[in-house]
Amino acid sequence: MNSLKVARMALRAAARPQPALRRGYADVAPDKLRLSLALPHQTIYKSQDVVQVNIAAESGEMGILAQHVPSIEQLKPGLVEVIEEAGGNKQFFLSGGFATVQPGSVLSINAVEGYPLEDFSAENVRNQISEAQKIAGGSGSEQDKAEANIELEVLESLQAALK
């Protein structure tokens, strides 16, 4: 008698329809990050699932994984490293911009200029450093000195990345 009751309840439970999972656009897999990395003239990543992205934010170096808290980070001119699903690591030096983590593991990085490290020339970097140092220490206008200091910051970061 008891077993019949149990069997009937089990049948009812099985017949009850499950709440329909609402799916809109394809959801990001729970352990992946959907990355879009775009420059004004070029899209490096367009809604591609990756494993992890390391960025150089003004508030510090950050590693962004799936399920990251939504946040907006101003980027320092520096290296962004993308760890892809297939296990490849790609590094790009970005000139600055913003990284936005949106709910649902969506990361959008916008930068003005960005290139893989092999596209840079250490010699050009060195020449620019010496020129910028001359201007920064020279007798030009405050504007020129401030701009030279900005350049030095970027160049030092680039030089360190190229080593």
Partner 1 sequence: MAFAWKAAGITYNRYLAVTARVVRRSLKDDKRLQAERRGEMDLRFAKWEGGKQGENKSLADANLADMAAHAGQSQ
The residue among 84 and 147 lying less far from partner 1, judged by its C-beta, is: 147
Give 63's contacts (C-beta < 8 A, 6+ positions apart). Answer: 52, 53, 54
Q: State the nearest-atom distance from the C-beta of 155 to partner 1, in Å.
A: 6
* Strand 106-111 relative to strand 97-102, pairing: antiparallel
The residue among 33 and 109 lying less far from partner 1, judged by its C-beta, is: 109
Q: Could you give the CA distance from residue 2 to residue 83 in angstroms, rounded to a whole number?
A: 57
147 part of the interface to partner 1, by CB under 8 A = yes
φ, ψ of residue 144 in degrees (nearest 5): -60, -40
- Judged by CB under 8 A, the stretch of 22-30, 47-55, 82-90, 94-102 that binds partner 1 is 94-102
Q: State the Cα angle at 161 between 159 and 163, rounded to 5°.
A: 75
77 part of the interface to partner 1, by CB under 8 A = yes
142 part of the interface to partner 1, by CB under 8 A = yes
Q: Could you give the CA distance from residue 35 to residue 39 in angstroms, rounded to a whole number?
A: 13
Question: Which residues would be at the binding site for partner 1 (CB under 8 A)?
Answer: 41, 58, 77, 93, 95-97, 112-115, 119-121, 124-125, 128, 141-143, 145-147, 149-151, 154-155, 158
